[in-house]
Structure 1
Amino acid sequence: MVEKLSRWAVSAALPDALKVPVSEIGYLATLKFVVGKRIATLASCEAKSALANFLAMGSELEATDEEIELAAEIEAAAIDSELDLDAGESILIAVSLKRDVKKLATGDKRAVCSCQPLSQTLNLIEPLRGRIITLEQILAQLIRQLDFGELRGKVCGDPCDKTAGICFGCSSEGSSETSALDALLSYQKHLAKESSEFTAPNLAS
C-alpha cells in the first residue's frame, strides 16, 4: 500500500485517512529496502520524495524473535492450506497481533482473503477480524480529503493498481467523485465477503 500511495504522492495523507495521529503510524523495517528499491528504479522523483517523507514521519518496526516465530507459524499454516500469503504479510500479521494493533493497513488483497481460511486452522489470528484496512478504504477517504480531479490524475497517471484504475474510470473520458466512491464500495463489499469481514463491508477506515 505504501508503495502505491507514494507513487501517487499521497502517502503523507495516510494518518488522516486512517484517522490516527502520526505517532501511531508504523511500518516494518524491511519496507524501506523492498519498496525503496522499487521506487528508486520505477518511480518519479516526486514518488521518491513522498516515500522518504513517509518513512521519516512513521515509526520503523523491527520484528522481535517472538514475532518472527509467530510469523513462521502463520506462514507454515498458510502453506499447509495452500493459501497465497507471503513472508512479508505473515510478519505484518504477527507484529499486529503481538502489539495489539487496532488498524492493519495492507494493499495485498490476496492476504486479506487468506485470513478467513487461515483462521480455521490458526484461531489466534481471529483478533484481526474487522481491523484490516484496504487500499479501497484509504482511497475513499482520500477522495473526501483531497481534490478529486488531482487525485484521479495521480491514480490514472501511474496505473500501479488495476482496481483503483477501474474505480477512478481511468480508461474512460472522465469520472465523478460519486461514481468512484460507488465503485470503491462495490469492491470493498466483495473483499469483506471474501474475507468473512476481516475487513469491513464499508468505506470507513
Structure 2
Amino acid sequence: MAKVLLAKVLLTKFRNPIQTVPSDKSLYGINDLTPLSSISSFHPIMSLPPDLMHDVMEGIMLKLTGCLLHVIVSSRLHTCSQVCQMINKFNFGNNDKRNRPVAFKEKDISEGNVRGKAMEKYYLFLNLPFIFYEIIDKIPYLFLYELLREIWDILYADRPRKSWLSTLEVLIQEFLQLFQTIFPENFVPKFHFLLHAARNTAKYGPLK
C-alpha cells in the first residue's frame, strides 16, 4: 500500500512539470491530463482496476510456463525436441482449437520463450498437466503451477466472496516468495502487481 501511495505522490510531482514544459512529456511518460481528472474522486493511480490479461495471462503465466518447460529439459525428463513435439502434437479440444498455441521450436524451450497471442499462451498454461501427464509428478517446482492455478481460480471468479480474499493474499505471498527464490532472474515487475490483487478485488469487485 505504501508503494501505491508513493506512486500517487510521484505522479503529481511529475505531472506538474509537463503542464509548464510540454516538451518534457517523453521524459516523464505522461502525455496529458485525463478528462476524468475533473471528477473530484478520481485518481489515475487509485481509481483504475488492473488488467489481468497483461499482468497475469501475458506476464506471470507466461514466465512460469517458460520456466517449467525449461526445467523439464534441464532435469532431463525430456529433450527440447520431445517437449516441442508433445506441445505441437497435443490434441486440443474442440473449444480450444482456435486458441491452439503457435508451433514451438527447440530454441523457444531453451530460452524459456513462449510466443503467441494472450489466449494461445493461456490455453497452453491450462493444458500443461494434460500435455505432460506422463511426467507430471516428476516435474520440479510443479507446486508453483498449482499455487498459481489456485490464485487464478479466485481472481477469475465471476463472484469472488470476501471470505476468499484472505486466502488469496496468503497464496499470492507464498507464490511470490517461492518464485523469486527459485527463478529470481525471471521475477519481473508484473509479479509485484499481484501483491495488490486481493485489495483491488475488494475495491473493484471481479477483476476479469
TM-score range, shorter chain: under 0.3
Structure 1 or 2: more strand by fraction: 1
**What TM-score do the two structures reach when normalised by structure 2?**
0.26
Larger Rg: 2
**What TM-score do the two structures reach when normalised by structure 1?**
0.26
